[in-house]
């Protein structure tokens, strides 16, 4: 099984994650095309730099011809005009609130993170904000894969849900500042597109170094980690090395919450790639980078039993077109499996039983999605024990291009193998050959090469 390990010894932010993906081999053009597909006038600047003696990749977002800059520079320039209608084009994303007090919810993402991000706002007479509905529409309209769209939306929804809880409002009541939303959209969409391109089966995350001290916001001082990050990292192992900076940004925390399936020390793996994504700050005594390790799991080959949650709901009045969308949303949020079973319901009505398999810690999130996206008034939940084969992936070279193969092992013996559907579909569309032919060819080459 191909796994990716996020080593957050200096925290994580959206730009650090994007840089790490690029450093790990994700195509810069792929991310640049994703940014163009958003049609928001943004672009990427990618550079190889050195942070604390380590070579790393730095990804910066440019909007309206200007690049992010640290908030301390912003405050120095606008120290006396916090109530004036100053153009917010420096991307450090402090936030304003309709009651003119500090609400403490940083939600943008550059590693200029010793200060409070300026990208989330509630309704304000001087600030135009993008709500979550508009952000969903922008992502949905972008020419990127459906999987990447669903992952990006899930990251934004996790971010919005945390902000909404912190500020005692609804998720639809959260608005993202005009410029800050562009920055966050780029970070999050690139995170989703790049994570898919990396082609890993599981994301594992280290304990997160969240930093310490305080952050300066438009109208006050807040402790580190800020409230939204604390909410997003519930259940995740965190610590502070004592550095007086905000090391985990809300966008970084939302990415971890959405992608990571488990947390822990360095996993058993055969390393194939090590990569570093650079932040913007220079930290005392350590490099300001996110390390990304990719490789094949070398964990025990035994098929290990585990406990999972099973969530079910009866649906007899849901538009069938919506059902597929709900499945995509659940998968993007980390469901292990989602399926529907046709049933005969009361008064002879045809219906479906929606079944979701998820890790126990994800059951609450899955339930929220089911209630939000379907017409059900209730769900059933139970815990069951499952046993799965150890999995890994390999690649074969067909006459039309490379296809990944999923391999299932029992005690070191291969028991199942199958070509990756998305690879076969892409080749079939690009080369104009039947999908079944691509899949058959991939299996033939795999068996031939043994």
**Would you list the DSSP string of 198-243?**
HT-SEEEEPPEE-B-SEEEETTEEEESSPHHHHHHTTTS-EE--S-
Tokens 């006396």 — which residue?
80
pLDDT (tens, 9 = 90+) of the chain, 450 residues, equals: 789 999 999 999 999 999 999 999 999 999 999 999 999 889 999 999 999 889 999 999 998 777 754 443 333 344 433 333 333 333 333 333 333 333 333 333 433 333 344 344 433 333 446 788 889 999 999 999 999 999 999 999 998 888 888 878 877 777 665 445 788 899 999 999 999 999 998 999 999 999 999 887 654 688 999 888 999 999 899 999 999 999 999 999 999 999 998 998 898 889 999 999 999 888 888 999 999 999 988 765 455 678 899 999 999 888 888 999 999 899 888 899 999 999 998 888 899 999 999 988 889 999 999 999 999 999 999 999 888 777 777 889 999 999 988 888 766 677 788 999 989 999 999 999 999 999 999 999 999 886
H/E run at residue 347: none
Spatial distance between the Cα atoms of 330 and 350, rounded to a whole number of angstroms: 23
| CATH class in words for 305-387 | alpha beta
The pLDDT assigned to 8 comes to: 97
- Identical fold between 305-387 and 390-449: no
Instruction: Identify the CA nearest to 115 among candidates 142, 97, 91, 134.
Output: 91
The predicted structure's pLDDT at residue 287: 95
Taking the C-alpha atoms of residue 37 and residue 392, their distance in angstroms, rounded to an integer, is 33
Q: Quote the strand ranges of 235-366, DSSP E.
A: 238-239, 260-263, 269-278, 289-297, 305-315, 337-344, 350-358
At residue 169, the pLDDT reads 80
> pLDDT at position 428, please?
94
What superfamily does domain 390-449 belong to in CATH? mk0293 like domain (3.10.20.300)
**Token pair belonging to 267:** 């996993």
pLDDT of residue 87: 31
Give the Cα separation of 390 and 176 in Å (integer): 42
pLDDT of the residue at 326 = 94
Phi, psi of 223 (to 5 degrees): -75, 155
Prediction pTM value: 0.64
3-state class (DSSP) for residue 402: strand
Find tokens 């390999």 and name the residue.
Answer: 394
Domain ranges in the chain are 1-299, 305-387, 390-449
pLDDT at 304: 61
């Amino acid at each position: 099984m191909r796994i990716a390990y996020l080593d957050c010894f200096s925290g994580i932010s959206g730009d650090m994650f994007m840089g790490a993906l690029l450093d790990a081999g994700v195509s810069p053009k792929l991310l640049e095309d994703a940014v163009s597909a958003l049609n928001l006038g943004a672009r990427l600047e990618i550079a190889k730099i050195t942070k604390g003696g380590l070579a790393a990749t730095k990804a910066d977002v440019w909007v309206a011809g200007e690049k992010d800059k640290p908030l301390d520079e912003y405050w120095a320039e606008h120290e006396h005009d916090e109530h004036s209608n100053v153009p917010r084009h420096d991307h450090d994303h402090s936030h304003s609130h309709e009651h003119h007090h500090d609400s403490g919810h940083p939600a943008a993402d550059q590693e200029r993170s010793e200060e409070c991000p300026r990208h989330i706002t509630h309704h304000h007479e001087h600030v135009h904000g993008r709500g979550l509905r508009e952000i969903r529409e922008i992502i949905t309209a972008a020419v990127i894969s459906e999987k990447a769209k669903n992952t990006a939306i899930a990251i934004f929804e996790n971010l919005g849900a945390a902000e909404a809880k912190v500020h005692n409002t609804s998720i639809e009541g959260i608005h993202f500042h005009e410029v800050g939303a562009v920055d966050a959209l780029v970070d999050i969409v690139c995170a989703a597109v790049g994570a898919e391109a990396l082609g890993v089966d599981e994301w594992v995350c280290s304990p997160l170094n969240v930093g310490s001290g305080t952050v300066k916001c438009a109208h006050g001082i807040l402790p580190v980690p800020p409230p939204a990050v604390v909410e997003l990292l519930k259940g995740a192992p965190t610590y502070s090395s004592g550095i007086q900076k905000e090391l985990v940004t809300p966008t970084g925390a939302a990415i971890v919450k959405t992608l990571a399936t488990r947390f822990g020390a360095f996993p058993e793996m055969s390393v194939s790639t090590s990569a570093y994504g650079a932040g913007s700050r220079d930290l005392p005594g350590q490099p300001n980078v996110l390390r990304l390790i990719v490789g094949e799991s070398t964990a025990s080959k035994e098929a290990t039993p585990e406990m999972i949650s099973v969530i079910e709901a009866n649906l007899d009045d849901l538009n069938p077109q919506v059902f597929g969308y709900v499945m995509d949303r659940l998968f993007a949020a980390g469901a292990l499996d989602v399926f529907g079973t046709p049933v005969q319901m009361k008064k002879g009505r045809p219906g479906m039983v929606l079944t979701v398999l998820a890790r126990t810690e994800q059951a609450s999130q899955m339930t929220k999605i089911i209630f939000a996206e379907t017409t059900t008034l209730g769900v059933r939940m139970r815990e069951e024990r499952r046993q799965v084969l150890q999995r890994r992936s390999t690649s074969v070279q067909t006459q039309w291009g490379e296809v990944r193969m999923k391999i299932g092992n029992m005690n070191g013996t291969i028991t199942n193998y199958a070509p990756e559907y998305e690879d076969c579909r892409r080749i079939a569309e690009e080369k104009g050959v039947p999908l079944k032919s691509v899949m058959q060819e991939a299996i033939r080459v795999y068996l031939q090469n043994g």
